[in-house]
Structure 1
């Protein structure tokens, strides 16, 4: 089974809710039945409408970002006299909690 999310107008949802209550069925059942009765053309119509919407014109800033070489190499960061391997604190990823900073002075960890 696939999952599908639909955005329906409030008036349609109200109408379906009243019909569902009257018929002792759920709104989801009514929507599924309506989709089954619909022709492929009816279901494709919103796509055609969306495709006909023109793309907004781009301003200079947008054009500059699109033309920029954002994948190009950057010069190495100047750390000065500091050793970057001695800066900061070690972190690890915990699936249920995200990134956590490990503190050497405590056995406990804290969320970032």
Structure 2
């Protein structure tokens, strides 16, 4: 049986909406700091966030931290980065960071159904 994160964040944007990317990672990191398990599911154009180097220049300014810092902390604290397989294929994304976990549509449904709380940035 799969371990499901208690706090699930879904993100369907990439650099086209840096605010949503930043806030999604901020919430996910804060959940981990509070001792919750957290997963971030990247959907639609959001799958580009998992491309190596894609978030390195996203910095919307104070009071928020740069997304690269947030991503590094998210992973260091045990956060899981899940990527929609069909969205990867549809958007021709190939150069994924090694921490990316590719999942299917049925997996995503299971994540929604088993999370205690879901924050959607769609």
| TM-score clears 0.5 | no
Q: Report the structure number with the largest CA radius of gyration.
A: 1
- Scaled by the length of structure 1, the TM-score of the pair is 0.19
More strand by share: 2
- The one of the two structures with greater contact order (alpha-carbon pairs below 8 A, sep at least 6) is 2
- Scaled by the length of structure 2, the TM-score of the pair is 0.18
